[in-house]
A and B are shown apart, each in its own frame.
Chain A
Amino acid sequence: MNCCPESRGLARRSLLKGLAAGVGLAVVDGPVPGTRYAFGASSPYVGDTLVVLSLRGGFDGLNAIVPVGDPAYLAARPSIGLPERVLIPAGGIFGLHPALAPLKPFWDDGTFGAVHAVGQVNPTRSHFQAMTELERAAPGSSVRTGWLDRTLGLRAPGSVFQGAQVGSTETPLSLSGPAPELTLHTLKDFDVNGAWDATERARWTTALRALHADAPEVIAGPARAALGAVTTAAAITAQTDPAANGAQYPDSTLGAALRDVARLMKQGVGLQVACVDDGDWDMHAGVGAPDDGWMHDNLTDLAQALAAFATDLGSLLGGVTLVTLSEFGRRVGENASGGVDHGHGNAVLLLGGGVAGGKVHGRWPGLDDAHLVDGDLAGTTDHRALLAEILAVRCGQSDVTQIFPGLGPTKPLGIVRHRP
């Protein structure tokens, strides 16, 4: 895998380390023009739990939500393109990669859908910059916080679980900023190191609480929150077999992370925003066959994890919107290594009770040469517009000017339905 120097780091998630803002790191960095927001609205949050699943490395939306009816598609990808016969019909020119089969029931019942040709206003093919800009979501401004941090900053202060990165202790840039967030690798290991059983845990939490009793709030506040979260996490993980409705999570990092998100939701701990990372999408070489290989295996894990998550949540799925984001899509034409290089326009997957699923949203720009941008699928939907619609329709945030500064009025995409 020597084709792309960055991919090595990505596979080991070290790019993420480079990007990361740190363990629950909240960034306050002086006045930020245009984002002096009123910290903490007074009324409690009513809206969906927003789950942002970051597909790190550059998700190949073209081989996931496949525009097989666009004649230029198979021409551009003679060896790695998926023929129509193997695809799950998805309406119009599109078909789903066969590895997405576990999600077919949700596509059919309208809780799983997609938007295609989503892009950023200033495309770049650098993983690093594209990720930064995707999560900052404030192009052309000096804003240095993340869009989810700004989103949480407009809400009333919530529980320690209000905004969480699950599956990694590293804060994504999207959550970076003054609003506090929790980062946890797994619920199970969110624990005091010396606490090998409940007695020892109580010993530690009691001592640490007493140790911080008279400390200044800047130190005592996070300490109290940490001890509360340790206790909650221990109570949740003490319960056995939490997956409901026969949900079968894949034995993978993604499966474990989504299982923890579902556990937090089922416990009603006040989770409003959850971020989950899924790495290893940087497929410059050896994408593989429709029924075997890198893309197939990754999509299988993704589909199984999402299907288990939706199954596990049951009726709670009605209050969840999950959206996938990736820094860029991949080049339309395949390269000589049976892979695809960094591109631009991409597919976004949507899962949730309020999703207008069962179809591919967005304006399809076409894959013929005249419509490509530098060999890439054009982005016809600004990713901020898509997120703004979810925030407005599902999360009670109709005014997004402070979250996405400079984003003008956008045309409704119809990707989600209003909450009942």
Chain B
Amino acid sequence: MVVAAPSVLHLLRRATYGPTEESIAQATRLGARAWLERQLAPSGIVDRTTQTLVEQRFPRIGWSIPKVRQYYLSDPGTWAVMYDLGRATVARAIWSERQLHEVMTEFWSNHLNVTSPSSDVWDNRAHYDTVLRTHALGRFDDLLVAATQHPAMQRYLDNASSEASHPNENHGRELLELHTVGIAAGYSETDVKNSARILTGLGVDDDTGLGTFRSDRHFVGPVTVLGFEHPNGTAKGGRSVAADYLRWLARHPATAASIARKLALRFVSDDPSPALVSRLAATYRQHGTAISPVLRQLFTSREFAASAGAKVKRPYEDVVATVRTLGLRPDPKGTKGIEALHWMLSDLGHAPMAWAPPNGYPDIAPAWRSAAGSLARWNAHLNIAARWWPQTLTGPRLTSLVPKPGPATHAGLLDALSRQLIHQTLPAAQKRAICGFLSEPGDVVQPSTPLRADSPAVGRRLPYVVALILDSPLNAVR
């Protein structure tokens, strides 16, 4: 086992879905800086195993929208492809080598949320995901144009049914409030109306399911939104007015600030300093809305370095990190184990893309404080570690975590296990808590109690000991 530097662990806890033995070894070998550069250029990372897994076990998520519609001609509206997408996303989060790309795809799928599964996007949600993936480490203006015009977003925020005479304001408003400048930018209701008018004409072709522009639905006439002005003189020109508007919004200082802050919330702390946010926003603008330079600056900032443990893990990060640290691998065939993890995440209220309102899952600790959530988290640790559910994932047995020869005492065992599982040792009080769990009337176990080959801690109670280490509050943060 490689002993990881704290800075390497910190980076892996934030820029990936949790450290693994392999990722620690790799980041240690390359150094944090080079490891980050590699992650920022995901196409250069060979990820064949996970790509093959997804292609073979979830082939439908790679289909074009017309192909999905054609295949389900007799079963339109099926949720099958959306479920596959959710499951494949969990698999990629656990096993992809392109970890930062996965993390950023998740980031954008919350920022530009299109709830999945939900009824209106059954045919196009998986394709929408490919758009988010394409631009996840690219430029935000490209991403915004592609996502806004995509049939999934068009349906989700109702612009698909908007018309010049009665513009549906839903998309026009959320574009300002959630996707770009934010409510603090101080736009007016007239701005919202004009935002909606600019988007009229964009929509979905009901025959193919593809995105389209219908000039007969486009509002014609001068439009202004905040500082954006356009004569918008022809119906035919509507599409390019919309694209100009979107690119203008993407570059707006308020958009830069809101995306910078959101990235800092994701990767640094629940309360990032205004100074950091403004530096990140400046970088975003200097680089034409490119995301990688912002991330590079963020991960190498002093504030990032000082923020270890400042983020509370949400259920998704917790479950995925648990599977990763236990070194579990996919089912030998089929998807049963992956499906079980996805159901577990649904029960925890954090299945990928399932957040219903358009603002995406919240990303601050108070939003996730919950009694039932704590209980569910403990139960998830035990279920996964003991292989009660899912049962079909493969990988090392828990006994392989126990050093050979065995540690002399229970404290030694707990130290060895927690170093491997959570990359730190537990404070004495927590070791005593777990030893208390192992005690029987008349047979008190203490950290100093010698460990024997037949001690329950390395036998029938080993899964519980592993679960309790994962339950430690030290492992509740990242």
Among A22, A24, A213, A218, point to the contact of B371 (Cβ < 8 A). Answer: A24
> Chain A contacts of B74 at CB under 8 A?
2
A8 to chain B, nearest CB (A): 7
Interchain CB contact under 8 A, A24 and B119: no
Interchain CB contact under 8 A, B349 and A223: no
Interchain CB contact under 8 A, A23 and B356: no
Residues 138-165 (chain A) with a chain B CB within 8 angstroms: 142, 144, 160
Interchain CB contact under 8 A, B366 and A26: yes
Complex CA gap A193/B430 in Å reads: 20
The reply to whether the CB of A413 lies closer than 8 angstroms to some CB of chain B is no
The reply to whether the CB of A288 lies closer than 8 angstroms to some CB of chain B is no
Interchain CB contact under 8 A, B315 and A126: no
> Chain A contacts of B248 at CB under 8 A?
none
Among A23, A28, A194, A220, point to the contact of B376 (Cβ < 8 A). Answer: A23
* B370-393 contact mask (Cβ, 8 Å, vs A): 1 or 0: 111111101100110000100000
Q: How many residues of B contact A (CB 8 A)?
A: 63
* B117-139 contact mask (Cβ, 8 Å, vs A): 1 or 0: 11110100000000000000000
Interchain CB contact under 8 A, A18 and B373: no
Q: Which of B4-12, B75-83, B233-241, B274-282 contacts A (4 or more CB under 8 A)?
A: B75-83
Among B312, B348, B430, B477, point to the contact of A211 (Cβ < 8 A). Answer: B430
Complex CA gap A309/B373 in Å reads: 28
The reply to whether the CB of B365 lies closer than 8 angstroms to some CB of chain A is yes
Identity of the chain A residue whose Cβ is nearest the Cβ of B75 in the assembled complex: A2
* B307-322 contact mask (Cβ, 8 Å, vs A): 1 or 0: 0000010010000000
- A207-B436, A213-B429, A214-B429 known; A18-B366 Cβ under 8 A: no
- A211-B468, A219-B473, A226-B375 known; A26-B120 Cβ under 8 A: no
Interchain CB contact under 8 A, A221 and B434: no
- A126-B119, A210-B436 known; A23-B382 Cβ under 8 A: no
> Chain B contacts of A2 at CB under 8 A?
74-75
Complex CA gap A196/B372 in Å reads: 19
Q: How many residues of A contact B (CB 8 A)?
A: 67
Among A28, A193, A211, point to the contact of B472 (Cβ < 8 A). Answer: A211
With a 10 A CB-CB cut-off, give which of A206, A212, A221 has the most chain B CB atoms. A212
Residues 259-275 (chain A) with a chain B CB within 8 angstroms: none
> Chain A contacts of B430 at CB under 8 A?
210-211
Complex CA gap A230/B312 in Å reads: 23
* B324-360 contact mask (Cβ, 8 Å, vs A): 1 or 0: 0000000000000000000000111111001111010
> Chain B contacts of A216 at CB under 8 A?
473
The reply to whether the CB of B364 lies closer than 8 angstroms to some CB of chain A is yes
> Chain A contacts of B382 at CB under 8 A?
193-194
The reply to whether the CB of B142 lies closer than 8 angstroms to some CB of chain A is no
Task: Report which B residues bind A (CB closer than 8 A).
Answer: 74-79, 115-120, 122, 177, 183, 312, 315, 346-351, 354-357, 359, 362, 364-376, 378-379, 382-383, 388, 427, 429-430, 432-434, 436-437, 464, 467-468, 471-473, 476-477
A-B contact pairs, 30 of them (CB 8 A): A2-B75, A9-B79, A14-B117, A17-B354, A23-B349, A23-B370, A25-B373, A28-B364, A28-B367, A126-B119, A126-B120, A128-B356, A142-B177, A144-B357, A169-B349, A170-B346, A170-B347, A170-B349, A173-B357, A180-B370, A192-B378, A193-B383, A194-B467, A210-B432, A218-B312, A222-B374, A225-B374, A226-B371, A226-B372, A226-B374
Task: Report which A residues bind B (CB closer than 8 A).
Answer: 2, 4-6, 8-9, 14-15, 17-29, 33, 126-128, 132, 136, 142, 144, 160, 169-171, 173, 178, 180-184, 190, 192-194, 203-204, 206-208, 210-216, 218-223, 225-226, 228-230
